[in-house]
C-alpha cells in the first residue's frame, strides 16, 4: 500500500532497483486492480513483480493492538505472511511502525532467546564505512539490562553482516561516560558487558554520549527504544534545520547565489552524505524473518535505499546468523511471548 505517498512511490523504488539488478523478484501486496494497472505502465516491472491482492489498509494512526485483532485482510499482514510462508526472503514496508512490529511479532514470532525485538537504524558517521548502527530506535519504549545486552548481540550481528565489520565496537548510550552515571539498568548492563563481549566477539567501549553517535570510536550504539527514537528524530530535525539555513544562506546575496552555482557538485555530494533518504531502512531484529521499515514519507529514492538494504541483508544470510548468535546465549525464561503479552507490550 505504500506509506504517506501511496503505491506509486513503492513501484518507482522497485523500478530503480531493477535498473541495476535482474536477479531480484518482488511480491507487492495491495489492491490488485490498481497495482496491475500501474505495473503495466512501467517498462520491465511486470516481468519481476507479482501482485498479491489485499484490499484493507493499516492506516498510519491505527493502534497496533487493533491491527493485531482485525488486520487479517490488510496489505501489511499479507506482506508479512509471505515471509512466514517462505515465499519471500524479506519484507519491506513504509507503513505504521507500531503495527508493523506488532504484526511481525504475531506472525513471525520472536527468535528463541529474544525477549524484546529491536529496530536498528544506520547513522551517518566518521567511520570508514560512513555509518554506525543504533538500536533500539522505537520497537519498545523500555529496555532492561538483559534487553540491552541482547540489543548489543543483535547489533553486533547486524554490523558484521550489514556493514562487514568483523569485530564491532559496542557503546552504551548514557548521559556521561563515568561509571557512576545514568539509570540503574545502564549501570548493571555496564558491569555485565565485558564478560558478554568476550563470549560474543565484540568490543565493549563503555558508555557513550549523544555526541558520540556519529563518532569513529564506536560502531554500534545500544539504547532503549524511547531514547533511541528521540535521538534519531532529533538528529533528523537538526539536519533539516541546517539544510534550511544553508539554502537560505546561499540565497542571501547575488554573490552567494553565484557561489552556490560554482559549488553545486560539492554541495550535492554533501547533500547525499546527510540525506536521510539514503540511510532509509530500520531493520527489525530478533524475529524469525527479516523486516525492513522504510520511512512513511519515503520517496522513490528512499524506498530504493530500503529495498537495497533488505537485499544486502538477505544475501548475507543475516537472519540465520543472528538466530545462531542469539541462541548461543540462550538463557532460561526468555522465550517468545504469547500474543496477549505482545499485545500488551505494543499498546
Q: Which residues are near a second copy by CB under 8 A? A: 61, 63, 98, 124-126, 138, 141-142, 173, 175-176, 178, 180, 182-183, 209-215, 223, 225-227, 229-242, 244-246, 248-250, 252-253, 255-256, 258-263, 265-267, 269-270, 273-274, 347
* Range 81-105 burial, b when 16+ CB lie within 10 A, else e: bbbbeeebbbbbbbbbbbbbbbbbb
Please identify, using beta-carbon distances, which residue of 41 and 126 lies nearer to a second copy.
126
Please identify, using beta-carbon distances, which residue of 48 and 226 lies nearer to a second copy.
226
d(CA 23, CA 5): 27
The secondary structure of residue 287, as a DSSP letter, is B
For the bound state, the minimum distance from the C-beta of residue 200 to a second copy, rounded and expressed in Å, comes to 25
Please identify, using beta-carbon distances, which residue of 184 and 332 lies nearer to a second copy.
184
d(CA 63, CA 99): 7
Contact 132, 125 (CB under 8 A): yes
Please identify, using beta-carbon distances, which residue of 34 and 65 lies nearer to a second copy.
65
Closest CA to 91 of 78, 109, 106: 78
d(CA 267, CA 241): 16
For the bound state, the minimum distance from the C-beta of residue 329 to a second copy, rounded and expressed in Å, comes to 27
Write out the three cell numbers for 79: 506482506
For the bound state, the minimum distance from the C-beta of residue 20 to a second copy, rounded and expressed in Å, comes to 26
Map grid coordinates 507479482 to a residue.
Answer: 50
For the bound state, the minimum distance from the C-beta of residue 342 to a second copy, rounded and expressed in Å, comes to 16
Map grid coordinates 522504510 to a residue.
Answer: 294
Adjacent-strand bridge partners of 87:
none
d(CA 306, CA 279): 8
Please identify, using beta-carbon distances, which residue of 324 and 341 lies nearer to a second copy.
341
For the bound state, the minimum distance from the C-beta of residue 248 to a second copy, rounded and expressed in Å, comes to 8
Residue 80: its H or E element: helix 75-84
- Return the C-alpha torsion angle 232, 237, 240, 242, nearest 10: -110
For the bound state, the minimum distance from the C-beta of residue 226 to a second copy, rounded and expressed in Å, comes to 6
- Return the C-alpha torsion angle 145, 96, 276, 41, nearest 10: 150
For the bound state, the minimum distance from the C-beta of residue 51 to a second copy, rounded and expressed in Å, comes to 32
- Return the C-alpha torsion angle 241, 243, 245, 246, nearest 10: 160
For the bound state, the minimum distance from the C-beta of residue 207 to a second copy, rounded and expressed in Å, comes to 12
Helix extents (H) in 214-253: 225-251
Please identify, using beta-carbon distances, which residue of 338 and 347 lies nearer to a second copy.
347
Please identify, using beta-carbon distances, which residue of 30 and 95 lies nearer to a second copy.
95
d(CA 347, CA 328): 31
Please identify, using beta-carbon distances, which residue of 30 and 276 lies nearer to a second copy.
276
For the bound state, the minimum distance from the C-beta of residue 131 to a second copy, rounded and expressed in Å, comes to 12
Please identify, using beta-carbon distances, which residue of 164 and 240 lies nearer to a second copy.
240
- Helical axes 184-200 vs 145-163, angle rounded to 10°: 40
Phi, psi of 122 (to 5 degrees): -90, 145
Amino acid at each position: 500500500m505504500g506509506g504517506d505517498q501511496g503505491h506509486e512511490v513503492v513501484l518507482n523504488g522497485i523500478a530503480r532497483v531493477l535498473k541495476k539488478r535482474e536477479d531480484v523478484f518482488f511480491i507487492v501486496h495491495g489492491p490488485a486492480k490498481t497495482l496491475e494497472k500501474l505495473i503495466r505502465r512501467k517498462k520491465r516491472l511486470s516481468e519481476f513483480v507479482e501482485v498479491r491482492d489485499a484490499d484493507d489498509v493499516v492506516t498510519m494512526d491505527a493502534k497496533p493492538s487493533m491491527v493485531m485483532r482485525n488486520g487479517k485482510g490488510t496489505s501489511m499482514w499479507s506482506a508479512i505472511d509471505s515471509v512466514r510462508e517462505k515465499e519471500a526472503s524479506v519484507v519491506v514496508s513504509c507503513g505504521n511502525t507500531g503495527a508493523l512490529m506488532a504484526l511481525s511479532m504475531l506472525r513471525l514470532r520472536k527468535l528463541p532467546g529474544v525477549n524484546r525485538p529491536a529496530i536498528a537504524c544506520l547513522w551517518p558517521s566518521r567511520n570508514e564505512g560512513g555509518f554506525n548502527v543504533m538500536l533500539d530506535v522505537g520497537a519498545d519504549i523500555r529496555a532492561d539490562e538483559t534487553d540491552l545486552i541482547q540489543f548489543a548481540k543483535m547489533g553486533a550481528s547486524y554490523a558484521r553482516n550489514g556493514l562487514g565489520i568483523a569485530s564491532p565496537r559496542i557503546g552504551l548510550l548514557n548521559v556521561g561516560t563515568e561509571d557512576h552515571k545514568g539509570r540503574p539498568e545502564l549501570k548493571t548492563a555496564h558491569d555485565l558487558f565485558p564478560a558478554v563481549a568476550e563470549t560474543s566477539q565484540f568490543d565493549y567501549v563503555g558508555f557513550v554520549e549523544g555526541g558520540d553517535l556519529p563518532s569513529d570510536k564506536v560502531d554500534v550504539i545500544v539504547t532503549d527504544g524511547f531514547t533511541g527514537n528521540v535521538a534519531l528524530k532529533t538528529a533528523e530535525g537538526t539536519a533539516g534545520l541546517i539544510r534550511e539555513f544553508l539554502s537560505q544562506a546561499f540565497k542571501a546575496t547575488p554573490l552567494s547565489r553565484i557561489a552556490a552555482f560554482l559549488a553545486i557538485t560539492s554541495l550535492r555530494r554533501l547533500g547525499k552524505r546527510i540525506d536521510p533518504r539514503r540511510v532509509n531502512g530500520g531493520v527489525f531484529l530478533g524475529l524469525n524473518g527479516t523486516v525492513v521499515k522504510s520511512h512513511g514519507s519515503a520517496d522513490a529514492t528512499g524506498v530504493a535505499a530500503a529495498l537495497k538494504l533488505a537485499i544486502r541483508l538477505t544475501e548475507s544470510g543475516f537472519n540465520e546468523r543472528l538466530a545462531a548468535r542469539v541462541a548461543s546465549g540462550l538463557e532460561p525464561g526468555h522465550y517468545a511471548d504469547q500474543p496477549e503479552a505482545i499485545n500488551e507490550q505494543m499498546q
